[in-house]
Structure 1
Amino acid sequence: MSEGWTKRQVTALLVLSDGTVIEGFGLGAEGAVEGEVCFNTALTGYQEILTDPSYAKQIVTFTFPHIGNVGANDEDLENLATGPGAGAVGAIFRADVTAPSNYRSSGHLDAWLKARGIIALSGIDTRALTALIREKGMPNAVIAHAPDGVFDLDALKRRAAAWSGIVGLDLAKDVGSREAAAWDEMPWTWNTGYGKQGAPRYKIVAIDYGTKRNILRLMAGEGAEVVVVPPTASAKEILAHEPDGVFLSNGPGDPAATGEYAVPVIRELVEANVPLFGICLGHQMLALALGGRTEKMHQGHHGANHPVKDFTTGKVEIVSMNHGFAVAADSLPDGVEETHRSLFDGSNCGLRLADKPVFSVQHHPEASPGPQDSHYLFKRFFETIDAHKAGKVAA
């Protein structure tokens, strides 16, 4: 902590599974919660990050030092469910959160964090914590906030050491939809807000493993009537909607664990020759359904500045990413083509089938937050649907 902060009472702790204790100042919800600590390099969009369901059971360390200074509002949310655990469980900031200063703000970040049950900690050297994660990998930890500064440190250490972590966890059932529902909200435009899709040309079924709202908005913006179904929906239930295409959403947890019930359904949909588009967890489970393998990453990819090459066009785009598992490119069988690759570490970021209207990407083309370089992938999905309807194979 900086010298100017040393006289303040410590009111929050980050206790790592190896016993390391990092002291800071609490805000947001009170109490303690387990999570995997990762770092995010985005400069903007902290509300979208903290409400991304893919961050369930994770504590997000923001490398940008000034978080929360533009306040919070009710529009920049990404999860469909709004209860505790439907996004990140904790957040770590370098600097104190100042009074909000933005015309869209409707309140202080501290109050927003309290309302959503997110525990936060400020006043630590986030550069050092980021370096630790890069060196040792994403640690399991407990983040705790007590306004009176009283903690049972031994109990917190035992709790952090005992938590088994994200490997093997199916979290899609915790953050996904409980029942089928229609979606018609379109992307946000300045000074207008969100539009409504009133004249759809396509019908898309989105399997909600933890989908982000902006994904659904962009599909609605391309002319789709979207039906969101639970992560446990069967292929029969999905196909009963007679969709033009099926979307496999992002989401949290271990793809192999969620894949125990999701992969057989995805495999049936591939065999049914319905156009498929997957993002993040949906991409990983599509790879599993096609015979590939997924693996846990050392530090994961979390941020809005990741370079990815699209081999189908030869172009490099800057993308938004949020994942701690990846598809092992060398595990993809014949007939499955790698379409995108990270230029940071060479990890797989996309695939497609040569003979079916099926493709997916690891990154988040909807951004929110992040650059819009990959918005074209939504157009590619609907072009694939059009080609499929015309009797052509395209992906």
Structure 2
Amino acid sequence: MKGTLSLSNGQSFQGIWKGAAKDVQGEIVFFTGMTGYEEVLTDPSYHGQIIVFSYPLMGQYGIQTAHLESEVIQPAGIIVTELYEGALEKGISLFDFALQHNVPIMSGVDTRSVIQTIREDGTMQAVMQLEGKPLPAWKPIRTFLVPHVTAKTITTHGEGFPHIGLIDFGYKKSILQALLDRGCKVTVFPYTVTTDVLSAYQLDGLLFSNGPGDPASLEHKLADYKEWATNYPSLGICLGHQLLASAFGASTEKLPFGHRGANHPVMNMKTNRVSMSSQNHSYVVKKDSLPDSLSVLYLNVNDNSIEGVQHNELPFITVQFHPEASPGPAEHHEVFDTFFDLIPFEKKVSTHA
């Protein structure tokens, strides 16, 4: 079957339809990594989007469940140049995985042209549809996506120290695993958790996770997040970074086409060291909105946007990129070590006494 990708700017692209026979609409974005499609497709930060992969061949090593970041495919649709459908040594094919999750794929698409259009005109709404069907009416854009991906219940993992509360806006499994690998006890909370509930768990620190959508959609929770970051050593990642910065007075804006890939250079402003990072976001903290209480910790080398901040008095840091880096380089695991150094040493001693 043939299919059509229609962009809201009026352009359209043809391809071969694979998988679920349903039309989908979503914000169209692109990912520049050569590998890591398993992690990308199950990353909750991509919830509801249509993702275009820049690497020309996808699916060549199948799907390995150990690498999934959540239990389901998060994007609404998948666009590739070529879909590998040959034999696999293990796992299931990308085609079968998409079919299981009722997500359509279009292959044979001129992805270079699609990506060039996004780079020139910015991210926009798009529709994937089977050929011959009339273009459906454009649906309103959803910006508050966190309720669709947050945890439904409170769960605890591990038994070590420190005890970290993970505020779930759509966290990646590899973030939880990075904490467990460092001997932590981790309790995952829905983003709607109350201050009283947090207090009952005797936490040593908080991690504000990644997630989809516009940080402004959580403005009603910023007072809580400021209170929590004032009382607990905290780390914010991606959306969590944007929310903590916003809670202390910064504002955010949407990038023309976002940062999505495993090769984004960032500079540590303390050490002047440049390293590669894995990223997936549309919004950034506006540099000229940063309050005096916050200092820039990381900058993006390509466009000079803020990639992380630290509070000048309180024990919290944030990063726009993914320090757990799945997929991507492993150069930023030190972010977790910096976070743990914010947790009082005296408490560590008394805990083990």
TM-score range, shorter chain: over 0.9
The residue identity in structure 1 corresponding to 2:170 is: G
| CA distance in 2: counterparts of 1:100 and 1:374, whole angstroms | 35
Equivalent position of 2:201 in the other structure = 241
The residue identity in structure 2 corresponding to 1:93 is: V
Q: Deviations over 1:29-81 (max 9, x none)?
A: 220111111111001110100100000121111100010011112211102xx
Q: Which of 76, 87, 99 is equivalent to 2:86?
A: 99
Equivalent position of 1:59 in the other structure = 50
1:117–1:354 distance in 2 versus 1, CA, 3 Å: same
- Once the 2 structures are TM-superposed, how far is the Cα of residue 313 of structure 1 from its aligned partner? 2.2
Equivalent position of 1:165 in the other structure = 141
1:202–1:359 distance in 2 versus 1, CA, 3 Å: same
| CA distance in 1: counterparts of 2:124 and 2:18, whole angstroms | 22
Q: SS at 2:83's partner residue?
A: coil
Equivalent position of 1:339 in the other structure = 297
1:322 and 2:280 matched: yes
- Once the 2 structures are TM-superposed, how far is the Cα of residue 259 of structure 1 from its aligned partner? 3.1
1:77 and 2:68 matched: yes
- Once the 2 structures are TM-superposed, how far is the Cα of residue 21 of structure 1 from its aligned partner? 2.1
- Once the 2 structures are TM-superposed, how far is the Cα of residue 124 of structure 1 from its aligned partner? 1.2
Contact 1:70 1:100 in 2 (8 A): no
- Once the 2 structures are TM-superposed, how far is the Cα of residue 237 of structure 1 from its aligned partner? 1.4
Aligned positions of 1:217-236 closer than 5 A: 217-236=177-196
Q: SS at 1:31's partner residue?
A: coil
Equivalent position of 1:296 in the other structure = 254
- Once the 2 structures are TM-superposed, how far is the Cα of residue 96 of structure 1 from its aligned partner? 3.1
Q: SS at 1:313's partner residue?
A: coil
Q: CA-atom RMSD, angstroms?
A: 1.7
1:88 and 2:46 matched: no
1:285 and 2:259 matched: no
1:100–1:253 distance in 2 versus 1, CA, 3 Å: farther
Q: SS at 1:57's partner residue?
A: coil
TM normalised by structure 2 equals 0.95
Equivalent position of 1:253 in the other structure = 213
The residue identity in structure 2 corresponding to 1:225 is: K
| CA distance in 2: counterparts of 1:337 and 1:35, whole angstroms | 35
TM normalised by structure 1 equals 0.85
1:138 and 2:123 matched: yes
| CA distance in 2: counterparts of 1:71 and 1:276, whole angstroms | 37
Q: Deviations over 1:357-388 (max 9, x none)?
A: 11100001111100001111111111211458
| CA distance in 2: counterparts of 1:213 and 1:309, whole angstroms | 26
Alignment coverage as a number of residue pairs: 349
| CA distance in 2: counterparts of 1:260 and 1:163, whole angstroms | 25
1:353–1:100 distance in 2 versus 1, CA, 3 Å: farther
| CA distance in 2: counterparts of 1:311 and 1:389, whole angstroms | 29
| CA distance in 1: counterparts of 2:53 and 2:17, whole angstroms | 15
Aligned positions of 1:302-313 closer than 5 A: 302-313=260-271
Equivalent position of 2:341 in the other structure = 383
